[in-house]
Amino acid sequence: MARKPPELKDAYSLKSPEDSRRLYADWAGDYDERFAALEDYQLHVHTARAFVGAGGQGPVLDVGAGTGLCGAVLAGLGVGPIDATDISAEMLTEALKKDVYRDAFEADLTEGIPAPRDSYSGIVSSGTFTHGHVGPEGIEALLRVARPGAQFAVSINAAHYESAGFAAAFKALGDRIGGLSLTEVPIYGDLAVGPNRDDTALIALFEKS
Write down the pTM of the prediction. 0.87
Which DSSP string do the residues of 14-80 spell out, in sequence order?
A: --SHHHHHHHHHHHGGGHIIIIIITTTB-HHHHHHHHHHHTT--SSEEEET-TTTHHHHHHHHTT--
Q: What's the gap between Cα 19 and its chain centre?
A: 18
- Domains assigned to the chain: 8-208 (3.40.50.150)
Quick count: other Cβ atoms within 10 Å of Cβ 168?
10
Residues 74-83 pLDDT 10s: 999 999 999 9
What string of pLDDT tens digits covers the 209 residues of the chain?
334 454 444 444 444 455 455 555 445 446 666 766 778 889 999 999 999 999 999 999 999 999 999 999 999 999 999 999 998 888 899 899 999 999 999 998 888 999 999 999 999 999 888 655 578 989 999 999 999 999 999 999 998 899 989 999 999 999 999 999 999 999 999 988 878 889 999 999 999 99
Contact 53, 59 (CB under 8 A): no
